Structure 1
Amino acid sequence: MNALVDSGDAVGPAGAAGPSLGEADFAFLREFVLQHCGISLGDHKRQLVQGRLLRRLRALALPGFAAYCDLLRRDPESELGELASCISTNVTSFFREMHHYDMLVDELLPRWLEAKRAGGRLRIWSAGCSTGEEPYAIAMVLAEALGRIGTDVDAKILATDLSPQALATARKGVYPVDRLGGVSEARRKRWFLRGEGSFDGYAQVHPRLRELVTIQPLNLLHEWPMQGKFDAIFCRNVVIYFDKPTKQRLFARYAGMLESRGYLFLGHSESMYGLSEDFDLIGRTVYRKRS
């Protein structure tokens, strides 16, 4: 859900609002971002990266980009999340690409929950969850399906992202009411608590949804601590900015984390064509693991 360095953004002339990002420092940042985030930054992104990172220089009281690059060299893990947040544009909404949720409601959740009535567990992973709209939307349809079967099933959603700011918003589960445009009126009444007083104009997701969703930081390019397998993985509008080798490695790792015949949901502009032989395309950006 994070579109890293969206090409629609723009910044002013180099040096207009602070230190300039020199060629050597930009070269280091390009390599660092490619290695740690899988994102390839073109030469034309230099001014944009400069503008995005100036706020980070101010927050850290650093005199320039050379000092920031030195910080990344000394302790890359401590600053990686903040760097990703600075150069990320979070593009997400509730029930974005509704056909994926229709498949969950009409086909997958009834089948999974019926099979797991007698035991077993249902696990869904929102990889690149951004500010939380996706996992909470999944939680809505999951909670509704659980209510229909009238039986307890061990069902959970894991939501992960690299951005500390995005995760903080997801954990709060509080959104401006105008961000609920994709949520039906019935679901707004059932799954959101309207704010009052100083929180007027905001809504918080229902505690039941928060019970279903576990939110954790995770870099998709690093080690994954999860042990069990997933019935479905949502990784939408994340891999579009990755280079080809990174996509191939990630899809192979997803295949290893999915149950037999598990499902992988990609974004509307993403495809596995020529990148993996572990999946079959069975719907609009919906892939099923072959075995």
Structure 2
Amino acid sequence: MNRPLIKEYSFSGEEYDELRRIIGDRVGIALSDGKRDLVYSRVSRRLRARGLSSFAEYLALLRRGDEEELAELVNAMTTNVTQFFREAHHFEYLMSRMLPEVIGEGSRDKVIRIWSAGCSSGEEPYSIAIVLAEFLDRHPGWKGEVWATDVDGAILRQAEEGVYSIDRLKQVSRDRLRRFFLKGSGPNEGKARVGKTLRDLVQFERVNLIEKWPVRNRFDAIFCRNVIIYFDRSHKGQVVEGFSEHLRPVGHLFLGHSESLHGLTNRYRLIGQTIYRLR
């Protein structure tokens, strides 16, 4: 006979409501009533790590403005599911359509800039960098920059390290593996590390999309895939409107397969499968 699960900590509805308000205010993630068990599972780890005996104590810690713990809470609640060349049609469009158009524009500073917003453990920005490196090989005199950002500091450190198990590189061709990755040996057997060519193209930085962005340049494209799906409607609109202010006049916005701009903004037009362009 199955026994009912006995939870380690009590977790009242009021405590859940306060936690999801804090999470919503901090990073814009909208948590429904159905996410209560998920929040319990992830945040209870923080209680253990801090040696706390209740959610009430944890909330008191957050109310006191403990910035380190607020950052840990964000890390705990951020979903990081990604892979190399996920939604492959985006990278095919980047190589065959968008990048040639950028080159064809002519008068500009000859730097192609792409923002990977919500870069998670790095697979997306490194995939972009692979395409960019291959394209730049055929266009001497041009340079490329990928700005990779995420709200989760821990996952950013992992992305900067750029070490992946071989089974996470299944979507990377053999030729690309040979050119852009260093194969591990000894204690690193079964792993590969991103090589210098890609590292030189990608810069990582912690950015919270619902706070002020330290943007220094306009971008030719912004990849923000499977990120705004977690935001409430207000923050979704705020973010995509903000992107429009930091794109070049013919800039592109790439969203995730289940995301849409319908009803959020009129600044873009749909030109492909979850590919948008400024009007």
- TM-score, scaled relative to structure 2: 0.94
- Number of equivalenced pairs: 277
Q: 1:47 aligns with which of 37, 41, 45?
A: 37
- Residue in structure 2 matched with residue 226 of structure 1 by the alignment: 215
Correspondent of 1:119 among 106, 109, 112: 109
Aligned partners of 2:223 and 2:254 also within 8 Å:
yes
Q: CA deviation at 1:243?
A: 1.4
Q: Give the Cα–Cα distance (whole angstroms) in 2 for the partners of residues 225 and 118 of structure 1.
A: 22
In 1, Cα distance between the equivalents of 2:170 and 2:42?
28
1:183 and 1:237, CA in 2 relative to 1: closer, same or farther beyond 3 A? same
Structure 1 residue aligned with 2:235: 246
CA distance in 2, matches of 1:114, 1:245: 37
The match for 1:192 among 163, 167, 181 is 181
Question: AA paired with 2:220?
Answer: D
Unpaired runs of 5+ in structure 2? none
Mapped pair 1:22 → 2:7: no
| Structure 2 CA distance for aligned equivalents of residues 47 and 15 of structure 1 | 13
Match of residue 173, structure 1, among 158, 162, 171? 162
Letter in structure 1 aligned against 2:62: L
Q: CA deviation at 1:20?
A: 2.1
5 Å-filtered alignment, 1:95-110, equals 95-110=85-100
Which of 144, 153, 171 pairs up with 1:182?
A: 171
Residues 152-195 of structure 1: per-residue CA shift (max 9 Å, x gap): 32321000001122111101000000000111111111111110
The DSSP-based 3-state class of the residue aligned with 2:260 is coil
* C-alpha displacement of 1:205: 0.8
Conserved 8 A contact 1:247-1:275: yes
1:278 pairs with 2:274 = no
Structure with bigger RCO (C-alpha 8 Å, 6+ apart) = 1
Structure 1 residue ranges without an equivalent (≥5): 1-11
Q: Percent identity over the alignment?
A: 46
Q: Which residue of structure 2 lines up, in the alignment, with residue 84 of structure 1?
A: 74
- Which secondary structure state, in structure 1, belongs to the residue aligned with residue 79 of structure 2? strand
TM-score, structure 1 normalization: 0.90
Q: Is the 8 A contact 1:116 1:122 kept in 2?
A: no
Cα distance, 1:73–1:271 mapped onto 2, change above 3 Å: same
Amino acid at match of 1:199: N
Native 8 Å contact 2:47 2:53 kept in 1 = yes
1:13/1:231 CA distance change after superposition, 3 Å: farther
